[in-house]
């Protein structure tokens, strides 16, 4: 599981795509170090898959740092729990990550609520592990729809909503780099997500440069890419900061 504080290490000034990778969070570890309560003061944030696990803890930390928060989920029970845990100041929305139409509606809801968006943490996803002989076309397509297609079209729908500057954080996995048995489909979705961080950063950087020549740019990104080995991953931009590694999970899980 990703420590929520890892997300903060990948939010910098400027519109960027940040691939991050999780690490196990052992029971009994001390809580994150206290930080300035105003570091994210007034920042308008969106956390997909924010009603449980990584996303819910990130929402708590964003709130503690002064941010305004929208979280999404798709499970009625986790949505109800998140509403109770986060309080009335947080907008909790139901959104199907596999549905392009639902992601477009989410972008519209974000715009209606905030006007513009400063930070998007694209965390919603499903982790299904199975040997190749057990995969069906339906299950394969569902994993790619939730982990790849939905987030891609959410980013597309958010383009006119992002503030200048803005930050996008993508939750990837060490499984994009290592050949763990039974992870073939999950790893492929995360490799695709990691690739998006590289290609879309480059694309948005060029778009901002072209826009700047004729009008104030909506985006002012600093391009990020990712390099990794089975034991180390680093996100490179104008600054370099290593995210924690993520170990494989043996059981299916969603967020």
Q: Catalytic residue positions?
A: 186
Rounded CA gap, 11 and 166, in Å?
9
Contact criterion met (CB below 8 Å) for 70 and 90: yes
Angstrom CA distances, 178 to 23, 50, 214, 247, stand at 15, 27, 44, 10
Q: Please name which of 46, 49, 26, 86 lies closest in space to residue 254, comparing C-alpha atoms.
A: 49
Angstrom CA distances, 104 to 47, 100, 112, 128, 233, stand at 15, 6, 12, 25, 32
Any residues with CB less than 8 A from the CB of 145 and at least 6 apart, and which? 97, 98, 99
Cβ neighbourhood burial of 77 (10 Å; 0-12, 13-18, 19+) = exposed
């Amino acid at each position: 599981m990703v420590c929520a504080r890892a997300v903060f290490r990948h939010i910098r000034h400027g519109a960027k795509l940040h691939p991050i990778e999780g690490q196990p969070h052992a029971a009994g570890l001390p809580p994150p170090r206290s930080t300035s309560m105003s570091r994210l003061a007034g920042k308008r944030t969106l956390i997909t898959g924010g009603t449980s696990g990584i996303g819910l803890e990130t929402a708590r930390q964003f709130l503690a740092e002064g941010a305004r928060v929208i979280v999404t989920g798709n499970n009625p029970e986790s949505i109800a729990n998140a509403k109770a845990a986060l309080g009335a100041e947080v907008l909790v929305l139901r959104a199907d990550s596999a549905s392009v139409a639902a992601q477009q509606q989410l972008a519209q809801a974000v715009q209606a609520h905030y006007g513009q968006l400063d930070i998007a943490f694209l965390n919603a996803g499903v982790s299904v592990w199975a040997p190749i002989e057990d995969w069906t076309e339906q299950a394969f397509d569902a994993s790619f729809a939730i982990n790849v297609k939905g987030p891609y079209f959410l980013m597309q729908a958010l383009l006119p909503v992002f503030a200048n500057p803005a930050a996008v954080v993508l939750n990837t996995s060490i499984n994009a780099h290592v050949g763990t048995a039974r992870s073939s489909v999950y790893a492929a979705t995360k490799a695709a997500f990691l690739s998006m961080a590289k290609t879309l950063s480059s694309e948005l950087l060029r778009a901002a440069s072209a826009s700047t020549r004729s009008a104030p740019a909506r985006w002012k990104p600093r391009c990020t890419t990712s390099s990794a080995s089975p034991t180390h991953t680093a996100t490179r931009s104008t600054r370099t900061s290593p995210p924690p590694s993520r170990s494989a999970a043996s059981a299916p899980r969603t967020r």
